[in-house]
Chain A
Amino acid sequence: MLSLPCPFCGQRDETEFLNAGPAKSARPNTDVTDSKWVEWLTVPANPIGYVEEKWWHARGCGKWFTIKRHTVTHEIKMPDEDDE
């Protein structure tokens, strides 16, 4: 089970949270090509390494926050921490 760092409550078990998917890069400009738009909209990054994700503390304080999670080890880091 994951233990996630809620900014308000501190470490809590994964079952108190809902995953809200990848924290996307900035929305492309309106002059972007269709293929680039579809890629941004529907293709999540899936590297071997850290991905940024949004989580909602739905069964807790209700806070939304972003973390970095390693897709292999599930190690959790804050977005401002280095990947290494």
Chain B
Amino acid sequence: MGYQATIEKQGMWAIFDIKGDASAAAKRIAPLGLSLPAGTNTAKAKGGQHLCWIGEDHWLLLAPAEMENELLERLDPHHSSIDCRIVHVSDAYTLFTVTGQQADDILAIASPLDTRRKNFPNDGAAYTEFFGIRGLVLRRPDGYLAAVERSYADMISAYFDKISTGSR
């Protein structure tokens, strides 16, 4: 059995790991024109950037790869007097998009996350179990974006192939 969903492995994204208290993090990301998400496990999106609140005093910024140099310059990870750690981690993750009419079905197989909109709203972004490993799931208007550690990318691709085509 196949599903009416499209799963695509993405190319590189610009990704930054941000840790610190909220006031410090807000100051560090202010040059990007972004503010912190209001709710836990949600994301604030602007101009292709997604700032995800994924843990206590912990955020993840995702943006298109072509913005990486601009973000490096604006965030200035290594030269700040503000006590907030920003680490450039683009190489650490592989991203997948899951879109289409049955994207929810694919997510339900991949993860135990409750993706009903009252529990995982339109701006939802959370770490969860994803095919048995830790992965970030971000809701988008057309489906989901998932980020997993790059070393697991081939395994996740194989799982996606199996479930989306119904092959055993």
Q: Which residues of A approach B to under 8 Å, CB–CB? A: 8-13, 15-16, 58-63
Identify the stretch in B23-31, B76-84, B127-135 within 8 Å (CB) of chain A at 4 or more residues. Answer: B127-135
CB within 8 Å for A16 and B129 given contacts A9-B40, A58-B134, A59-B134: yes
Size band of the B side of the interface? 10 to 19
Distance of B89 from chain A, by nearest CB (Å): 15
15 A-B pairs (CB sep. < 8 Å): A8-B41, A9-B41, A11-B114, A12-B112, A12-B113, A13-B112, A15-B129, A59-B129, A59-B130, A60-B126, A60-B127, A61-B41, A61-B54, A61-B56, A63-B56
Q: How many angstroms from the CA of A61 to the CA of B41 in the assembled complex?
A: 9
Q: Are B129 and A13 in contact (CB under 8 A)?
A: yes
Chain A residues, Cβ within 8 Å of B130: 59
> From DSSP, what is the main secondary structure of chain B's interface residues?
strand
Closest to A7 in B: B56
Chain A residues, Cβ within 8 Å of B129: 13, 15-16, 59-60
Q: Are B55 and A8 in contact (CB under 8 A)?
A: yes
Q: How many angstroms from the CA of A12 to the CA of B126 in the assembled complex?
A: 11
Q: Are B58 and A61 in contact (CB under 8 A)?
A: yes
Q: Which residues of B approach A to under 8 Å, CB–CB? A: 40-41, 54-56, 58, 112-114, 119, 126-130, 133-134
CB within 8 Å for A62 and B133 given contacts A9-B41, A13-B112, A16-B112: no
Q: How many angstroms from the CA of A13 to the CA of B119 in the assembled complex?
A: 13
Distance of A75 from chain B, by nearest CB (Å): 20
Contact of B126 among A9, A13, A63 (CB under 8 A): A9
Shortest Cβ-Cβ A-B pairs, 10 listed = A13-B112, A61-B55, A59-B134, A59-B129, A16-B129, A60-B127, A62-B55, A15-B129, A8-B56, A8-B40
Q: How many angstroms from the CA of A37 to the CA of B58 in the assembled complex?
A: 39
Distance of B154 from chain A, by nearest CB (Å): 20
Q: Are A62 and B128 in contact (CB under 8 A)?
A: no
Contact of B112 among A9, A15, A61, A63 (CB under 8 A): A15
CB within 8 Å for A12 and B55 given contacts A58-B134, A59-B134: no
Q: Are A59 and B40 in contact (CB under 8 A)?
A: no
Distance of A60 from chain B, by nearest CB (Å): 5
